Structures are given as structure tokens and as C-alpha cells.
Amino acid sequence: MSRIAVVGSINQDIVIRVPRIPRPGETVHHGRLARYAGGKGANQAVAAARAGATVSMLGAVGTDADGDDLLRGLIAEGVDTTHVARVDSAATGTALIAVDDAGANSIAVAEGANFQIDPEDVQSAIAALQPVAVVGQREVPDDVINAAFQATTPGLRVLNVSPVDEGVAINLGLVDIAIVNEIEAAQLTADSSPDDDSAALARVLAEQTHRGCVVTLGGQGLVAQVDGQTHVQPAFPTTVVDTTGAGDAFCGVFTAALAAGRQVETALRWGQAAGALAAAKAGAQPSMPMADDIRRLAESELA
């Protein structure tokens, strides 16, 4: 199996399902409370592991009970946590998530220990692991992701450029494939793209990376520009329960498929299948699909 290193966040998700997401100043009653393991990094690590990859998680949690629980959960999924630091200067990362009846969500994050990761520790871990692929996101400091990608030679470097804000400081020149949604793509290309056509956005971002860019479009599928080829794929039909983690399922499984030697088009379909399956279940990490389910759905569309 291919070894993948995931550099990113590890969070405790506190989820309230409500009839609708509150507007500013509004209180919405009749919610249902649940707690799930989350964090974009940890979600993607679990997604890749369930898809069959050998995965190491690089990140940080606090010395609190949440940190204990989240590490136990990752280990139970077969994820190597040797390179997850325990820090006493901050609490384990926490996300407060409101999910409405349509499965849409609104998320507030307290990064906590995720912002205490040492870039030098990450570079040392990458050098020791020699992974086939490294995945990063933006729920940890950008200098941590830059350090990880600088140490990944050779190897596939996949960046989920999420969340996007005005302070993005990751060097896309270090990235092989960038993954963004349509809104993030428009934000990243605001000064360089003449229109908001998804294919055009993918091409503009692809030119800034080594291999390309994937723009996910939710229920409309995706468009990608990778290795000079354009890929346009529809979405899999699904009954949406909770979209939290669906994008992470795509990223983790897409990377696992590429690292295992699958063609780009096939890896995209596997990622899409994983996202559709994840959206049909509640919670982030609990919704990450298993390899057999991903294969069954993906191959039914590829046949």
C-alpha cells in the first residue's frame, strides 16, 4: 500500500442539527447535539486510510481529554499518530457546526493546538517517512504546509486550499495538484481570471502549480485541468444528510488513488464517489466511506 502523510488539523466537532442555520442575532431552537472527530486534516487521513492507503498524521492536539479521544480514534482507523505532537500551550482544536435540515452547514473553528505545529518537526517527519504523497490544507499555519511540501522530494504534493482568506501564503509553485471548490477558485483568481467559468478558473490555477487543479462543484460534479488535460465529470446522485467532511472524503480518496498508481480520471471518480457517500451520513470522520463502497459506486459509473 502507498504511504501518505497528511499534514493538517485535528478537531473535536460539536454539531447541532437545527431546522435552519441561524442568521446573525437569531436563536434557533429544537436542535440535536452530537460530538464527532473532525478537522480537515484528520478527516482526510481517515478517508485515505479507509480507501486502503497507509497513512501517517502530522499535526498537534492538546494534553486534554479531547486530544486523548481524537488520537485513540485515529489509531483505531489504522492511522499512524507517531508524529502528532501533544502541546500544553493550547487546547485541542474545536469546531462548532450548525447543520440544517437540507444538510448544509455553518462552521466556527477555534484552531487551538493546530496553530502550535512546529514546521521543523514536520520537515523532520517527512524526511523520516519518505511518503509517496503529502496532503495539506489551510486549517494549520501556511508555513507548516510550505515546510512539508519543501521536504517532499520526490513525492506527490496535494493541497486542499481551504479555507481561503486574504492572507493565503502557500507557494502554489510547491504544489503538484490544488483542490478547491468553485467559491475558493474565484477568490484565488480574482486578480488573474477574466471570468468565473469553472474551467477557466481551473486553467488559471493549474498554471500556478506543477500538474494542475481540481475545482469541485458540489452537486454539479467537478472540472479539472491536470497534466494538460481537461476533465469534466458529473456528480453522483446522493441523498444529502450532512455535507460536513464530504470535501475531505474527496481529497483523501483522490490522493490515495493517485498514490496507488490510478489514472487521474479514475482517481477523480473515486474521490467523487467518496464525497457522495460521505454526504449521505452524519458527522465528519464517521461518514468517511470504506474502500469496497467507494469502488462499487465508482466502478458502476465507469463501466
Task: Cite the active site residues.
Answer: 248
Sign of torsion over alpha carbons 221, 225, 227, 231? positive
3-state secondary structure 8-49: CCCEEEEEEECCCCCCCCCCCCCCEEEEEEECHHHHHHHHHH
3-state secondary structure string, 209-231? CCCEEEEECHHHCEEEEECCEEE
| Amino acid symbol at 86 | R
Going by the DSSP 8-state scheme, the letter that residue 170 receives in this structure is -
Are the C-beta atoms of residues 58 and 6 closer than 8 Å to each other?
A: yes
- Angle formed by the axes of helices 246-259 and 264-279, nearest 10°: 150
Among 259, 246, 262, which Cα is nearest to 295's?
Answer: 262
Three-state DSSP state, 250: helix
Q: Give the span between the Cα atoms of 217 and 235, in whole angstroms.
A: 8
